[in-house]
Amino acid sequence: MFLASRLQRILPFYYGWVVVGASGTAVFARMAPAITTLTVFIYPMSQELGWSRTLIAGAVSAGALSSIVLSPAIGWAIDRFGSRPVLVAGVLTVGASMTSLAWATIPATFYVAYAAGRVVFHTAAPIGASTVASRWFIRMRGRAIGVIFLCGAIGGVVFTMLAAVVIDNHGVAAAWISLGVVTLAVALLPNLLLVEERPESLGLTPDGEAGGRPHPNPLPEGEGILTPRQEGDSWTAREAMRTASFWILVVMGFATFFVHAGVNVHIAAYLRDQGLSLTNAASVVTASWVVSALGSVGWGWMMERVPARLMYSGMMALLSGAVLLLFLANNIVGAFSAAVLIGLVAAGGNITPAVVYADYYGRASLGKIRGIGEIGVLLGQSTGPLLAGLIFDLRGSYTLIFIAYAATASAGSLLVLNARRPARQTPSP
């Protein structure tokens, strides 16, 4: 609070952008245990440890299942204690889990360590960062959240290439340690020192309206996050769960990440099967994150201008097209073409739900609402990669699951058109 108060007085721009940048480092760090990082490890770990691809991919499912249990509690903690302590704890957890994976040579220890990092990936980092950004921004919410996930896309590039280079030169164990060290070095202090929960606590207003001039009656420190009663445009979690749009968004979270996670876990191994080298496969994965990074802020800007359900529908259509393009990925041109669409979907898949939940249901109970809504995402994350691994082990090919992925994404692009902004029911006179 002290450092934030001092900085907001001397900075020539709105302090909300400092909060976005600081919390964005946690989203950068969450990419250390990302699927696109793990996919670089699948081939060398299967060769070195003799583990099947299903076993390794199953760690993603273990993390998702753990997150299903913890997500509502983490959402509650964000609303009750604020985003900063949750983000700091998350960064520490990821740093410790990545480092400990260097010594995880049996499946049980691998699952425990990797799942701990995945819980942060799914819940604490994205929900905490996007929630605090949504409290600082309303009119410019799309751009603010776009910047946060731009940090995540940069993390995807950095961690994927770092893992590939270190594996090639020093082995799997050294690669895990390097991921843990970078996580702590980049993200711990910014989240600890710079994240402030809401503009009102510094005497500011959302978006820095009126030139960011101080509010005459700032909320005292320690009073807690705004309640639904204090902010009229907000819904409680219970109220949100009574709307049809909420459950459509939950289903869309499942459909999006059933497909996206399944593709991302197996894409590097699939490209190796198609004849690409490890370096080329990692470059394709990196290219998708470069596209995601370049598209993140633009996607957020579009979210402020195009109806959310139309953006969501278009994103799912792109996802279907990306999966179908993988059938042509037996050369570097086809692989990079698919990577472009996968990168666009990565940008949209992170930003769109975060903006939609905040726009539809307000700021006050957003942590709880996101924590519950994230269950759909987690179910998709837990089943998509595992099913792909099982089908590959049984049939020796990804063809059947890729067809199922494309069909799921196409169906989702139609379903989400029904997710309109909910309106409160007024009692009859």
**Residue 355 token pair:** 């903006």
E-strand ranges in 98-161 read: none
In a domain, 137, yes or no: yes
Angle between helices 172-194 and 2-10 in degrees, nearest 10: 70
Structure letter (DSSP) for residue 420: P
User: Which residue in 157, 289, 195, 146 sits closest to 3, CA to CA?
Assistant: 195
SS (HEC) of 33-78? CCHHHHHHHHHHHHHHHCCCHHHHHHHHHHHHHHHHHHHHHHHHHH
In a domain, 89, yes or no: yes
- What pLDDT does 216 receive? 43
CA 366 to the chain's CA centroid: 16
Residue 214 in this model has a pLDDT that exceeds 60? no
Q: What is the mean pLDDT of the chain?
A: 86
Judge contact between 248 and 353, C-beta under 8 A: no
Report yes or no on whether pTM surpasses 0.85: no
Provide the residue range defining the domain that includes 104.
12-202+233-418
How many CB atoms are closer than 10 A to CB 169? 9
In a domain, 106, yes or no: yes
Digit-coded pLDDT (tens) for 338-361: 888 888 888 888 889 988 898 888
Judge contact between 370 and 357, C-beta under 8 A: yes
In a domain, 46, yes or no: yes
In a domain, 71, yes or no: yes
Q: What is the 3-state composition of the chain as percent helix, strand, coil, each rounded to the nearest 5? A: 80, 0, 20
User: Which residue in 248, 266, 255 sits closest to 380, CA to CA?
Assistant: 255
Tokens 């994350």 label which residue? Answer: 381
Longest Cα–Cα distance of the chain, Å, equals 74
Residue 253 in this model has a pLDDT that exceeds 50? yes
Number of residues assigned to the chain: 429
**Residue 88 token pair:** 């700091």
In a domain, 222, yes or no: no
Give the Cα-Cα-Cα angle 281, 282, 288 (nearest 5 degrees).
95
Give the Cα-Cα-Cα angle 37, 38, 41 (nearest 5 degrees).
105
The total domain count for the chain is 1
Residue 245 in this model has a pLDDT that exceeds 80? yes
Under the banding of pLDDT at 50, 70 and 90, the label for residue 3 is confident
Average pLDDT of the segment spanning 152-164: 89
How many CB atoms are closer than 10 A to CB 395? 11
In a domain, 401, yes or no: yes
Residue 52 in this model has a pLDDT that exceeds 90? no
Tokens 């600081």 label which residue? Answer: 22
Indicate which CATH number applies to the domain containing 310.
1.20.1250.20
In a domain, 221, yes or no: no
Judge contact between 340 and 285, C-beta under 8 A: no
**Residue 266 token pair:** 């197996």
How far is CA 424 from each of CA 37, 110, 216, 354, 365, rounded to the nearest angstrom? 43, 47, 31, 21, 16
- What pLDDT does 1 receive? 58
Judge contact between 131 and 370, C-beta under 8 A: yes
